[in-house]
Structure 1
């Protein structure tokens, strides 16, 4: 199970994230209680990602994700993520639940970047 991490930057502009982020351009399909959409993952880490989507999502929205990566034959499945920030059609997610086999696949994708 993934653990909570610090987010954002401190007053001096230093990054407080516990996981390195990688700039990417990966297709993503997401769904939640009352939302289904597609977008583009712009950055990703072990603990979350940033997405540019076709819809605006409010903070606190819970989503399931399917991320397509060139190194994978089938999409990476994130069981549960939550929107932590939202600005227009851009939003940032924390991964809350990732099945162990999918977590291994995520690590493999990150290692290849």
Structure 2
């Protein structure tokens, strides 16, 4: 297995099925939030997002509003984004989990 030097989140991740966009500078790409924790998200982008680790981005989703974050890693169309600690993201995510989140069940049974 290859070490991708990915810094992992220590907060509990919850699988999600949310659609939205990731905005970097003036470009927006469609995205699907794969999982989310109180400290960040993993998203799958539908088009290339030409942003390096450390770049500031915004995540836009109807159930979450606008979340500000920093790219921590990218790999094969997936992007790990840590929420900006100076933003309101933690409160927005906590509210989402409290009021809107529904447990995601696997689509295929084994």
> 2:92 aligned with 1:105, yes or no?
yes
Q: Superposition pairs for residues 14-93 of structure 1, below 5 Å? A: 17-57=9-49, 58-69=52-63, 75-78=64-67, 80-93=68-81
TM-score for both structures, normalised by structure 1? 0.67
What do residues 32-83 of structure 1 show as CA deviations (whole Å, max 9, x unaligned)?
A: 21421111000001110000012233322211121233xxxxx4221x2111
Runs of 4+ in 1 over 6 A off after TM superposition: none
Contact kept? 1:30, 1:66, Cα under 8 Å: yes
Q: Give unmatched runs, 5+ long, in structure 1.
A: 1-6, 9-16, 70-74
TM-score for both structures, normalised by structure 2? 0.69
Contact kept? 2:29, 2:46, Cα under 8 Å: yes
State the distance in 2 between where 1:109 and 1:60 align.
Answer: 26
Alignment CA distance shift 1:34-1:88 (3 Å): farther
State the distance in 1 between where 2:44 and 2:94 align.
Answer: 22
Q: Give unmatched runs, 5+ long, in structure 2.
A: 1-6, 103-110
Q: Secondary structure at the match of 1:109?
A: helix
